Amino acid sequence: MTTKSSRGKRSGSRGNRREDKPVDLSHLPVAKNEEYEAEIIGIGHNGEGVGRVDGFTLFIPGALPGERVLVKILKLKKQYGYGKLLKVLEASSERVNASCEIYDKCGGCQLQHLDYEAQIRWKRQFVVDNLERIGKLKVAGQDEADDSDASKDGIVVYPTLGMEDPWRYRNKAQVPIGEEQGGLVGGFYAQGSHRIVDMDKCLIQHEDNDEVITKIKEIGNRLGITAYNEETHAGLLRHVVIKVGFTTGEMMVVLITNGSRIPNQEQWIEEIREALPKVVSICHNVNKERTNVIFGAETRVIWGQEHIYDYIGDVKFAISARSFYQVNPIQTEVLYRKALEYAALSGDEVVVDAYCGIGTISLFLAQHASKVYGVEIVPEAIADATRNAELNEITNVSFDVGAAEDVFPKWYDAGVRADVVVVDPPRKGCDEALIESILAMRPKRVVYVSCSASTLARDLRMLEDGGYVTKVVQPVDMFPHTVHVEAVVLLVRREV
């Protein structure tokens, strides 16, 4: 309704649109392209320093709280602006030299210049700020965060669970391919652009992923493979996706092309197998669309296994080319064990897992519950979840395809009464209809696994308004050196 109405407005005003008047910024204490000294007072949600010049707010990538910096103004709005860091005049004691050689070009990490202990402290505070600002929730003081009785004074937000070794933790690489001077390049998009930064190593990727990318570029160049060009829609190789099982060491390579046929395919396969003996699966995905979406609809195995395998704890998972699987398996186990702790299962409970994916949390919980029901909107993920249950001989789980907000009422009508509901939604958070379904199902506990502090805070507010109390929040650092933070949250029904 809203979309149609707004479209009508736009079409009705076409031809009569007045040019927007330029905003008068002459009263601001700063001017575009000029240089100023700024005091940095915080970190923004994208990892940039938040600075002040005569009370005016500037966002300055690379600056840290407590620093005094020289900045050049790049862009101005009425109430804030963006600047380029020219020089650190007084450095923070928490500033460190970034370990990555292309850190300032890549944009994949945002916080390598901040000491790791400071990173995980900031991530806790980032969660707290969102809970208070967006969710209007009361948070207990940090001094009380280790006191289990502190919940009477507000929500306990524990210190972030970080990694002992916060490097080389990613088990999946999605690398765009381009051309420079007639040769293939592959790496990451420069921050805020689609210009590919070539790389030989990425310090947050598993070392084997680096080797695969290097060899794929070498083989592609030798076989005369062209790279896809977004502007002309010409060229063949768009992306290379690599997956590695941390426990098993098995690797999968997915070649994503702008065409149904790979020239010299058998030679490609032979050379990949010879150069990369850990690769047990080579897949081909076809994407002929003019789109930034990585995968196309058609995927086939051109050599080897359909899946690679890995473990979270003692649960084994089959991972296909299109499977969603957490990219940091070390911290995933930390995350799931915390979810299991908050679920407080004795073996008699019925658990419902919304957004179950390939069954990672469902199977983890099923070992301690009477019955687990999982739902996921992606049919291929449910097929993988069912396969993973069979792989582990776990029989007390049931998986359905569909939107959780549609499936929940059907389960309820069929007599399913959940003691615990677990949600692990995408970054946009829970659908409002799902929140309503959870409130109608009235489980004793809700365990919310979040990858977005802002949508978490919004959803907690709705659950609190519907009769639940947020007890504890445990931030988990799944992505060191980036601004992302996950959290596991326990809510209990108010009358329980």
> Do 246 and 185 share a structural domain?
yes
Q: Which of 267, 282, 312 is the last residue of a domain?
A: 312
**Domain for residue 333, yes or no?**
yes
Are both 344 and 205 inside the same structural domain? no
108 in a domain, yes or no? no
pLDDT at residue 192, as a whole number: 72
In the prediction, which pLDDT does 196 show?
Answer: 87
- 106, 109, 202, 451: which is the annotated catalytic residue? 451
The domain spanning residue 243 has which CATH number? 2.40.50.1070
The residue assigned the tokens 């003691």 is 419
- Residues of the chain predicted below pLDDT 70: 1-22, 143-152, 496
**What pLDDT shows up at residue 21?**
63
Residue 18 counted as domain residue = no
Q: What are phi and psi of 319, to 5 degrees?
A: -120, 115
451 assigned to active site: yes
Tokens 């389960």 sit at which residue? 411
Q: To which residue do tokens 């978490």 refer?
A: 456
Of 283, 312, 341, the last residue of a domain is 312
Q: How far is CA 261 from CA 225, 237, 245, 255, 302, in A?
A: 12, 11, 28, 11, 11
Do 177 and 156 fall within a single domain?
no
In a domain, 2, yes or no: no
* CATH code of the domain in which 131 resides: 3.40.50.150
DSSP string, 265-316: HHHHHHHHHHH-TTEEEEEEEE--SSSS-S--SEEEEEEE-S-EEEEETTEE
Whether 249 is in a domain gets the answer yes
278, 312, 346 - which closes a domain: 312
Among the residues of 310-424, which ranges form H helices? 329-343, 360-366, 379-391, 404-413
Predicted pLDDT of residue 151: 54
pLDDT for position 145: 53
SS3 breakdown of the chain: % helix, strand, coil, rounded to 5?
25, 30, 40
Domain match, 488 and 370 both: yes
Give yes or no: residues 301 and 363 share one domain. Answer: no
Q: What integer pLDDT is reported at residue 23 of this predicted model?
A: 72
Residue 106 lies in a domain: no
102: in domain: no
Residues 88 and 127 both lie in one domain: no
Q: Considering its fold, how many domains does the chain have in total?
A: 3
CA 266 to chain CA centroid, nearest Å? 35
Q: Are residues 433 and 487 in the same domain?
A: yes
Looking at the fold, whether 258 and 361 belong to one and the same domain comes out as no
Query: Which CATH number do you get for residue 55?
Result: 2.40.50.140
Instruction: Look up residue 301 and give its two tokens.
Output: 């195995």
152 within some domain: yes
Domain that holds residue 146: 122-164+328-493
Q: Are 158 and 276 members of one domain?
A: no
